[in-house]
Amino acid sequence: MIRIHDKHFVPFLSASQIDSAVAKLAQEIADDVDEEVPIFIGVLNGSFMFVSDLMKHYHKPCELSFIKLSSYQGTTSTGTINELIGLGVEVKNRTVIVIEDIVDTGNTLVVLKKLFEDKEVKALKIATLFFKPEAYIKDIPIDYIGMEIPNKFIVGYGLDYDEQGRNLAEVYQLATENTYNPINSNTMINIVLFGKPGAGKGTQAEFLKDQYNLVHISTGDVFRYNLKNNTELGQQAKAFMDRGDLVPDALTISMLQAEVEKNAGATGFLFDGFPRTIAQAEALDKFLDSKGWGVTATIALEANDEILIQRLLERGKTSGRADDQDESKIRNRYDEYNEKTAPLIEYYTQKDLFYSVNGIGTIEEVTRRLSTIIDDFIDK
Ligand code: AP5
Ligand code: MG
């Protein structure tokens, strides 16, 4: 997986797959062309690599020129296209073969068609390396297609994301929940999101789980679900939770293991609020090890108690969480944290797995800080 600006991209087409498509397309054009010498017109900037390789595979006489248009801003088509650099060659009564790197909506083709018709070309043919049939909304026929691809944003081999990525020899696809698969990078990603009550573990997990395709397990949420449904587990945990005490290890550990087992196909987990004691951390190590996995990193959200207590009291007005309702219960949660959970910092530091970020700032700022760390060990 690679990162360009703020986005992740996964490998989609190898250099050799691209080369075969280019060679096949060059052959098709050559087979069609008779004695007449065509003018190939590359559409810049995206087509520069394709034009270069196409020319190497095209062995008949030809001329070559370029035109520059712009149709994209970011990852979605803006629909507005401007001609930037005009055509410098005479095309009247000539056969023109426009070379596009990609055709999606077809908006660019409409402009090109008009442009060349105005210049009274003898024939206009369109060749594109990539074609997105699901996105194409025009009826201009495309004469030569290297390959049809799904309607997903791609970069590489001349195509950019906000001007970067053109130099990649392969093509990458924008990573989404379903395309980013840590198993393909040979490793499960198991992140322990660590922090005092109210530090933002649950808030951040909502973003990270989508961004990295992780299963989010919040032991607090699972306990609350059981409380609400009055299960045996909920009844056992209730008194501890209401006071702001930790629930006994044995109960918590078996519950956590059951949650992991429920997600057999997962490619990584985001543990939120677990482990909270040394015994839990040891149990987690043993459990993950039994599956051939391990903790990838523990990342703490750092924040000062007084700010966090305010956050929780504020949330307590609407959350219905008994442990958020009064300050003495909240302070008890901090005492529990300091006594039983804080020693985990040393536990994970010794294993060289402990990272921390400043948890104060906007939610987006904190997400960015976390992503920077996660991206770092994904890239390794
Ligand atoms: P649990 O549910 O895990 O509660 P907690 O650790 O006390 O943490 P919170 O969920 O309250 O906070 P959070 O860090 O997730 O922050 P959040 O994103 O919600 O555990 C509850 C209880 O269950 C425990 O006390 C224990 O009894 C039991 N339990 C759970 N796990 C256990 C275990 N492993 N062993 C034993 N017992 C266990 O954010 C908090 C608030 O701040 C929100 O209102 C949010 O909107 C706001 N906020 C978040 N980020 C920001 C920001 N950047 N700026 C401003 N506000 C923000
Ligand atoms: Mg939480």
Nearest CA to ligand 1 atom 44: 315
Mean pLDDT over each residue of the chain, to the nearest integer: 90
| 70 band by pLDDT with thresholds 50, 70 and 90 | low
Nearest CA to ligand 1 atom 23: 220
**In the annotation, is 333 catalytic?**
yes
pLDDT tens column, 110-145:
888 988 998 999 999 999 999 999 889 889 999 999
Q: What is the pLDDT of residue 251?
A: 95
**In the annotation, is 119 catalytic?**
no
pLDDT tens column, 221-233:
999 999 999 999 9
Tell me if 273 CB under 6 Å of ligand 1.
yes
Give the integer Cα–Cα distance in Å for 93 and 74. Answer: 37
Q: What is the pLDDT of residue 151?
A: 84
Tell me if 196 CB under 6 Å of ligand 1.
no
Give the integer Cα–Cα distance in Å for 348 and 280. Answer: 13
Instruction: Give me the domains of the chain, ranges plus CATH numbers.
Output: 2-174 (3.40.50.2020), 182-379 (3.40.50.300)
Nearest CA to ligand 1 atom 8: 197
Q: Contact 271/296 with Cβ under 8 angstroms?
A: no
Give the integer Cα–Cα distance in Å for 59 and 170. Answer: 24
**pLDDT greater than 70 at residue 175:** yes
Tell me which of 63 and 80 has the higher pLDDT.
Answer: 63
Q: What is the pLDDT of residue 80?
A: 53
The secondary structure of residue 112, as a DSSP letter, is: H
pLDDT tens column, 238-289:
999 999 999 999 999 999 999 999 887 788 999 999 999 999 999 999 999 9
**pLDDT greater than 90 at residue 336:** yes
| 191 band by pLDDT with thresholds 50, 70 and 90 | very high
Q: What is the pLDDT of residue 82?
A: 56
Q: Say whether the peptide bond before residue 275 is cis (omega within 30 degrees of 0).
A: yes
Strand 189-195, strand 268-272: pairing: parallel
Q: Could you tell me which of 376, 227, 226, 380 has the C-alpha nearest to residue 299?
A: 376
Give the integer Cα–Cα distance in Å for 37 and 94. Answer: 8
**pLDDT greater than 50 at residue 181:** no
The secondary structure of residue 121, as a DSSP letter, is: -
Tell me if 199 CB under 6 Å of ligand 1.
yes
Tell me if 173 CB under 6 Å of ligand 1.
no
Residue in 94, 125, 329, 333 annotated catalytic? 333
Nearest CA to ligand 1 atom 49: 200
Residue in 94, 201, 311, 369 annotated catalytic? 201
The CA 265 to ligand 1 mean position distance, Å, reads 27
Mean pLDDT for the stretch of residues 305-312: 94
**pLDDT greater than 80 at residue 212:** yes
Paired with 43 in beta bridges are 67
Tell me if 246 CB under 6 Å of ligand 1.
yes
Quick one: which atom of ligand 1 is closest to the CA of 193? 14
**pLDDT greater than 80 at residue 81:** no
Cα→Cα distances 118→50, 93, 350, Å: 26, 11, 72
| 68 band by pLDDT with thresholds 50, 70 and 90 | confident
Give the integer Cα–Cα distance in Å for 97 and 64. Answer: 9
Quick one: which atom of ligand 1 is closest to the CA of 203? 18
Tokens of 301: 């959200």
Mean pLDDT for the stretch of residues 40-53: 96
Tokens of 327: 């300050």
Q: What is the pLDDT of residue 196?
A: 97
Q: Contact 361/301 with Cβ under 8 angstroms?
A: no
Pick from 70-74, 104-108, 307-311, 352-356: least confident: 70-74
**In the annotation, is 315 catalytic?**
yes
Identify which ligand lies nearest to the alpha carbon of 220.
1
Identify which ligand lies nearest to the alpha carbon of 337.
1
**pLDDT greater than 60 at residue 89:** yes
**pLDDT greater than 60 at residue 331:** yes
pLDDT > 90 fraction of the chain, expressed in percent and rounded: 72
Tell me which of 6 and 109 has the higher pLDDT.
Answer: 109
Sheet with 154-155, side-by-side order of all strands: 2-4, 7-13, 171-174, 154-155
| 54 band by pLDDT with thresholds 50, 70 and 90 | very high
Nearest CA to ligand 1 atom 34: 274
Q: Could you tell me which of 207, 345, 334, 212 has the C-alpha nearest to residue 275?
A: 345
Q: Contact 1/185 with Cβ under 8 angstroms?
A: yes
Mean pLDDT for the stretch of residues 191-218: 95
Q: Which residue has the tokens 């290890």?
A: 249
Paired with 3 in beta bridges are 8
Identify which ligand lies nearest to the alpha carbon of 200.
1
Q: What is the pLDDT of residue 190?
A: 95
**pLDDT greater than 50 at residue 374:** yes
Tokens of 88: 């410098």
**In the annotation, is 201 catalytic?**
yes
Q: What is the pLDDT of residue 179?
A: 42
Tell me if 323 CB under 6 Å of ligand 1.
yes
